[in-house]
Amino acid sequence: MTVLFVAIGTSRARSVCDTSAYLLERGVDVGLVTVEPGPWEQAGLDPRVRLYPLGEGEQRHPFARLGRLLRRVHKALDTKFYSKVYRLLRPYVMWRVARRSALRQIEWNGVQQLVIGDSHAIPIGWHLARRHPDLPVGFELDRAPFAAAESAAAPAVSVPAPRAAGSAPTTEPSGIDVIDA
Amino acid sequence: MTKTTLAVTTPWHPTVQRPFAGSFVQTTTAAVTGLFERIDLYGTEDWTGPADPVAARAVRKAYAAMTAGPAKRVQFRPRWTDEGYWATDIPVPVTPRRDYADWAQSHESALRAVLPNGFTADVVHGHVGIYGGWLALRFARPDARIVVTEHASFLGKILRQPRSRAMYAQVIERADAFIAVSQVLRDQLAAEFPAHAAKLHVAPNAVDIASMPVRPEPVKALNRWLYVGNMAVTKGVPEVVEAFAIAAEDEPELRLTLLGAGNQVEPLRARVRELGLQDRVVFHDAVPPQRVFEFMHAHDLLVHASKSETFGMTTVEAVGSGMPVLVTRCGGPQETLAGLDGVAGRLIDVSDDPTVIVDGYRALAEQIDRLDAHRARADLLARYGSAAVAARLAGIYGVEDSTGKAKEEA
């Protein structure tokens, strides 16, 4: 059983990371279709989340190759013309890349929900929804199917628990909070 | 409780992505649950998308196809909240670098997918005129009572945009009551829309003071300073650091904690290094609201040197928890601390000069024995506590309050 997220950028990383943690605590596999894995590591995504990056495929796409070639020949041509055009074509390129590479690695029969994680991912989310007409799709996780495991697991939102008595914050430098630590 | 129903529409309400956003809307809505048979809150949350017109259009089209029409795939279901009302979270794809009018219309499109026939509620309460107010105007029944609360610090910016201002004027025209969370905001609205001055009220958001933990021991010395909030220039944080440096020169026991996130964190870290105060100033990332009180209890003085505040929630929280405050007269605080200057702490002038803070601190340190934290908390409870705000809102909503006494004031 898998919940699959699609999030192109990390503007809503907190939601994706916290919801992934919620699912992993309940033994549910989590996948994320995104562009680059790096920013997600920085955002604190659990390393158990399986990533399906589109960035490499995008770089191999003929449009991206053309862009690199233009940049080498004439930088201004790239910045003034090509990059503007490519921004418009990028959703189409990303969907082509997703369809030809990342999405082929996913075992779709096991996907229980598709969660669209940011605004940029909405077009790909819609393509996926059309391809998989029986797959539940949402902008947040529908937690109802996982409610049974609710009481046994940690809270849904990873709000740090209050510190235990005797470990209240102090004004003394204490490791992670210290300047120049 | 009456048979009346309430719909609340707001761009700010806690979500998984923003668990601390709009907690004041949450508390205010929770405060009035006893007044209505049912409350439905619709939280429309900005999801910032691509700026390119073509890419933005692709997002809008895909969103519309998924949320409305014959092949729609996403169902928005209300969830029951711990606070005692129903909430529906609705993402709104918005395009950057547009005006508030455009964003408000994006919120309208998103809500239309959820509520094609509009609100059925008898009373509709919109938070933030250009967002929740606009949705109230567009979705309320013709005979519904519309109440709008304005608490946006960016009101001036909205009203400087011609399209946004025109929409705002429609909202204020239709609203039966228009609430500002502070007198400053009310005066601003009255100056902009003098014809509607009669329907402008001042009513704060509810603050759950009753459940704020009071510090076990009263403060006896102001050695441990605390700042809580955005680390921004407009909040006066650089001045706090400079003032601390001056005061700390003569008082080796002084410490400062800066609690919050923002673009001034790194510049201020550098400044603190320059001042050689690394071992006396601590930076801490923002924490959930419930953890703020741990910090307040572990410190002696809240120092807030903001240039402008519509309300100043942190100051109220500090006083509610029994912590002395040193705060600027920046709008909201001189209202929230009306009659409490010298009781809850000390008010100082807004200034770029850090010595104003230092002088205020020294004066407060001399009068610390005369502060009365219990009286200050009780005073705030009577004005901003959930019961007090619910009674005031009952009058504005035109419904019976918990005592069963009609309090129509609008």
The predicted structure's pLDDT at residue B22: 83
* Shared domain check, B227 and B100: no
| Angstrom distance (rounded) from CA B258 to CA B248 | 15
The answer to whether the complex's ipTM is over 0.85 is no
Band (A169; pLDDT cuts 50, 70, 90): very low
Domain with A96, as residue range(s), is 55-100
**What's chain A's length in residues?**
181
What CATH number does residue A144 fall under? 3.40.50.720
Band (A32; pLDDT cuts 50, 70, 90): very high
**What's chain B's length in residues?**
410
| Angstrom distance (rounded) from CA B86 to CA B310 | 28
Chain A nearest-CA residue for B46:
A119
User: Is residue A92 situated within a structural domain?
Assistant: yes
Chain B nearest-CA residue for A158:
B16
| Angstrom distance (rounded) from CA B399 to CA A31 | 49
Does A156 have pLDDT greater than 50?
A: no
DSSP letter at A160 equals P
Q: Between chains, do B294 and A178 touch, taking CB under 8 Å as contact?
A: no
User: Is residue B402 situated within a structural domain?
Assistant: no
Chain A nearest-CA residue for B280:
A172
* Shared domain check, A152 and A122: yes
* Shared domain check, A79 and A41: no
Q: Between chains, do A168 and B73 touch, taking CB under 8 Å as contact?
A: no
Q: Is A151 on the interface with B (CB under 8 A)?
A: no
| Angstrom distance (rounded) from CA B360 to CA B347 | 8
* Shared domain check, B213 and B188: no
User: Is residue A171 situated within a structural domain?
Assistant: no
Q: Count Cα neighbours of B98 within 13 Å in the Cβ-side half-sphere.
A: 21
* Shared domain check, A140 and A67: no
Band (A55; pLDDT cuts 50, 70, 90): confident
Q: How far apart are the first and last CA of chain B?
A: 20
What CATH number does residue B87 fall under? 3.40.50.2000
- Say if CB B3 and CB A1 are below 8 A apart: no
Which residues in chain A touch residue B18, judged by CB atoms under 8 angstroms apart? 14
* Shared domain check, A128 and A86: no
**The token pair that represents A162 in the structure block:** 């209050």
Smallest CA–CA separation between A90 and chain B, in Å?
8
Interface residue of A15, A16, A122 to substitute, partner B, most B CBs within 10 Å: A122
* B257 or A58: which leads in pLDDT: B257
Smallest CA–CA separation between B4 and chain A, in Å?
30
* Shared domain check, B346 and B239: yes
Question: How many C-beta atoms surround the C-beta of residue B362 within 10 A?
Answer: 13
Helices (H), B251-285: 265-275
Mark the ranges of chain B whose per-residue pLDDT is less than 70.
1-2, 402-410
DSSP letter at A162 equals P
CB pairs under 8 A between A and B: 116
* Shared domain check, A118 and A94: no
* Shared domain check, A129 and A85: no
Does A159 have pLDDT greater than 80?
A: no
Domain with B349, as residue range(s), is 209-382
* Shared domain check, B51 and B159: yes
User: Is residue B362 situated within a structural domain?
Assistant: yes
**pLDDT-wise least confident of A73-77, A110-114, B74-78, B152-156:** A73-77
| Angstrom distance (rounded) from CA B206 to CA B160 | 29
pTM equals: 0.81
Sign, CA torsion B121/B127/B133/B139: negative
